[in-house]
Structure 1
Amino acid sequence: MLKIVNMEIVVRAGRVSKQMEKTKIDQKQMFSLMFLFILSSIVTDLASNAKQDAWISIFIGMLGSLALYFFVYCQIFNHYPTLPFTGILAKAFSKYIGVPLSLVYIGYFFYLTSNATRHLGDTITTHILSETPIPVVNFIVLLLISYGCYLGIEVLGRTAEILLIWMFIFGLIGNLTVVASGIIKINNLQPILEKGWLPVLKQAIPLSFSYPFGEIFLFLMFLPYLNRPELAKKTGSISILFSGFSLTWTFLLIITVLGPLGAEITDIPLLSMVGKINVGHIIQRMDSIVVGTFVVGFFIKISLYFYAVVIGLTNVFKLKRYQSFIIPAASLIFISTFFIGKNNVEYSRFRLEKLPYMVELPLLIGIPLIVLFTLWVRKGLRKS
């Protein structure tokens, strides 16, 4: 009886993953997607409540996320390496619980897609296209995202490889010009741990822990596309470490230039820091580099969240082609950007301060732990 059940599970898994087998990406492409996905948060205000110790909170959040990815997410993936997380939920809890839970996760991905799209539209219209209405920018962004999603994850992976090179060039230029401008003040980092570890840990867990590093959970939807599943741990761990060190260094640099108060009150700290660059009265106004970084990072972030919505719906409704969901999903996301918040302050505050406690603690930590425990129990029962 157990052999028959196991064969049935394998057959069903093969049917669901048939679409995924047509497209695979390699380790470099997966690393590029993960790295740019996390690094996109470099233009947001992370851990400002920790004052001059914000960089420590970001570093601790990285370590927590690394442990969660290595010991929980990868373990879940290893049980069903051909299925996205929405498919694994049905295997762990049966379709009666797994399908509703999958819809909850799809709704979460949908909200984050809308949030990131609106954020990108607000930033572009504020700093580049001030005369362009936000809906026009959002429409163009979603049009490009939809086309990229239609082409598939392989094209998105190759695009990320190219964009990663430009992000490295932007980062190198930015760091060199900040140092050459002589605007770094090490005293702004002092006193370190002025109020002890408690404020730092409060900011790190769950805030820095869930955003941006906890969002690596999304890749449970994409790891089945990796052409060598055994490299999932290595690829993800390296991307978390590299992006984590990059974010830590960047916010360390921001605090040394702007000071803790300056980093806290500004909407985009990185943009304010770059605005102070002045190398011999020749190299100035490097704002375009920051905006370019923002657009590159958020293009990848929105693309992946949107793709997760589409393939999640495809998996839940057992359809053969995910492309049929692209236009309906993009249309709903476009409409939702009008209602996500009155302004950048409102929806960003909800995203950074309330969502980690209300939604992301159970969805990114609680339920995955229960899923992993359930899979362990099921595996033990099958062996016995």
Structure 2
Amino acid sequence: MEKAKISGYQLFVLIFLFEMGSALLVPLAGNAKQGAWLVILIAMIGGFLLFFVYYSLFRYYPDQLLTDFVRNILGNFLGRIVAFLYILYFVYLAARVLRDFGETLLTFAYPHLPLFFANATFILVVVFTVRKGVEVMARTGEMFFVLENLLFLTFIFLIVVSGMIHLNNLKPVFEIGGAEMMRMAFTETIYFPFGEIIVFLMIFPYLNEPQQLKKIGIRGLVTGGIFLSFTMAMNVAVLGVDLTTRSQYPLLTLIQSIEIAGFLERLDVYFLLKLMIGGVIKLSIFTYAALTGTANVFNVKQPSRLAYPIGFVILMISIVIASSYSEHIQEGFDAVPIYIHLPFQVIIPMILLIIAFFKNRKRSKSSTKISS
């Protein structure tokens, strides 16, 4: 671990911006139609359960990174294997995020630019941020948080003034049924973006007030979940269900439809700014986790030296991960939740927590016997 500390507010900002991240690009829970906003809120509640699993692991090992305490729980050999698998998990997710934002940038602004150059530019900015450490990343998040809120408030004002909101588009909320909503929330939306907060087990030990972590984490999840739910409800209220689900980037379509007094229009720069904010922070956190974890597992004394090699690996994976953007998105909705997110976000953390519980219980009993 680097010698650094971040405040509770900075951690809250990072969690919020991370949750918003790439979730703003896609029609999150779009198959729920008019009830998409409600499915997001239900998934957020499920995200609380996952967060408490991660928080419980942190409480057992408050001064250790995820890649550290898995070795204490599972032993050095098996623990190193699991720690290395988590590093690969973070690298893979970083590559997916990079592909998301690279493809969006090409579609939205630079259609003739090769994907490699778009992704390379993005990852260079991220690598520069990550090399400076978690404190610089947190201060960058603070600056972006203010800008994000200003953009959001201005965006809401313009939508309201333009008179484009049609609340009837949100009815009926339960068209697909409550049981189907629950299924979608707990088999799809819970993993992305709420379950991805497991990456913060590589950042939690840097918090200067660890006793405040539970409150900070819940606030971050609630704020991010409400913003995502509100954004999805706004997409449906303005665009309607059909256009929202068919649109590749519903938020971009919504922003492009704003027109006030015949002259205030084509506000695509709002989308570009939100794209950069979400992309840089989310990608930085995944890259930082992969970098710190690699240095921790392989005992590298100067982790910053790994920044460019890991950035290059992420860049190359982002290019070869799928032959097209549609294949990339399809893979993200069909295969990734079951075969990748479920093991790393739910199954392995639950096993680790159960083993840690019995290990610490046995240790506390031994300490009681010795003292008596």
SS in structure 2 opposite 1:210? coil
Secondary structure, aligned partner of 2:335: helix
1:37-52 matched pairs, under 5 angstroms: 37-40=18-21, 41-52=23-34
Question: 1:54 aligned to 26, 31, 36, which one?
Answer: 36
Paired residues, number: 364
Aligned to 1:309: 290
Q: For residue 182 of structure 1, what is the aligned residue in structure 2?
A: 163
Shift of 1:43: 2.1
Separation in structure 2 between the aligned mates of residue 140 and residue 318 of structure 1, nearest angstrom:
29
Bigger mean CA offset, 163-172 vs 191-200: 191-200
Q: Deviations over 1:205-255 (max 9, x none)?
A: 121100011111110111011111111111111010001100111101111
Task: Tell me what 1:149 maps to.
Answer: 130
Structure 1: where are the runs of 5+ without partners? 1-18
Q: Distance in 1 between matches of 2:318 and 2:47?
A: 29
Pick from 19, 40, 64 the counterpart of residue 46 of structure 2.
64
Equivalent positions of 1:229-244 (< 5 A) are 229-244=210-225
Summarize the alignment of residues 256-275 of structure 1 with structure 2, pairs less than 5 Å apart.
Answer: 256-275=237-256
Q: CA deviation at 1:126?
A: 1.7
Cα deviation, residue 202, structure 1: 2.0
| Partner of residue 377, structure 1 | 358
Partners of 2:176 and 2:205 in 1: CA distance: 45
Secondary structure in 2 matching 1:130: coil
For the 8 Å contact 1:43–1:290, the answer to whether it is kept is no
Name the SS of the counterpart of 2:319 in structure 1: coil
The answer (yes or no) to whether the contact 1:33–1:157 under 8 Å persists in 2 is yes
Note if contact 1:211-1:352 (Cα within 8 Å) is conserved in structure 2.
no
Matches within 5 A, 1:40-119: 40=21, 41-69=23-51, 71-119=52-100
Instruction: Give the 5 Å matches for 1:114-129.
Output: 114-129=95-110
What percent identity do the matched residue pairs reach? 31
Question: 1:321 matched to which residue of 2?
Answer: 302
Amino acid at match of 2:46: G
C-alpha displacement of 1:198? 2.1
Gapped regions of structure 2 (runs ≥ 5):
366-372
* Counterpart contact for 1:24–1:226, Cα < 8 Å: yes
Alignment of 1:248 with 2:229, yes or no, is yes
The amino acid across from 2:260 in the alignment is: V
Partners of 2:222 and 2:316 in 1: CA distance:
36
Residue 342 (structure 2) aligns with: 361
- Cα offset for 1:284? 1.1
Secondary structure of the corresponding residue to residue 233 of structure 1: helix
Q: Given the alignment, which residue of 168, 174, 180 partners 1:199?
A: 180
Q: Distance in 1 between matches of 2:6 and 2:187?
A: 31
1:158 aligns with 2:123: no
2:330 maps to which residue?
A: 349
CA distance in 1, matches of 2:153, 2:74: 47
Contact 2:27-2:232 within 8 A present in 1 as well: no
Q: Tell me, yes or no, if the aligned pair for 1:181 and 1:279 is still in contact at 8 Å.
A: yes
In structure 2, the residue matched to 1:139 is 120
Once structures 1 and 2 are overlaid, which stretch shifts more, 236-245 or 269-278? 269-278
Larger mean CA deviation between 239-248 and 323-332 belongs to 323-332
For 1:114, give the aligned amino acid: A
- Deviation larger for 352-361 or 57-66: 352-361
Q: Which amino acid aligns with 1:347?
A: H
- Residue 372 of structure 1: how far off its partner (Å): 0.9
Q: Return the offset for 1:304.
A: 0.6
One-letter amino acid of the structure 2 residue matched with residue 170 of structure 1: L
Q: CA RMSD in A?
A: 1.2
Q: Does 1:285 align with 2:266?
A: yes
**Maintained 8 Å contact 2:67/2:297:** yes
Q: Secondary structure at the match of 2:190?
A: helix
Give secondary structure in 2 for the equivalent of 1:337.
helix
Distance in 1 between residues matched to 2:162 and 2:205, nearest whole Å: 46
1:33 equivalent in alignment to 2:18: no
- What is the CA–CA distance in structure 1 between the aligned matches of 2:327 and 2:140, rounded to whole Å? 32
Q: Is the 8 A contact 2:32 2:176 kept in 1?
A: no
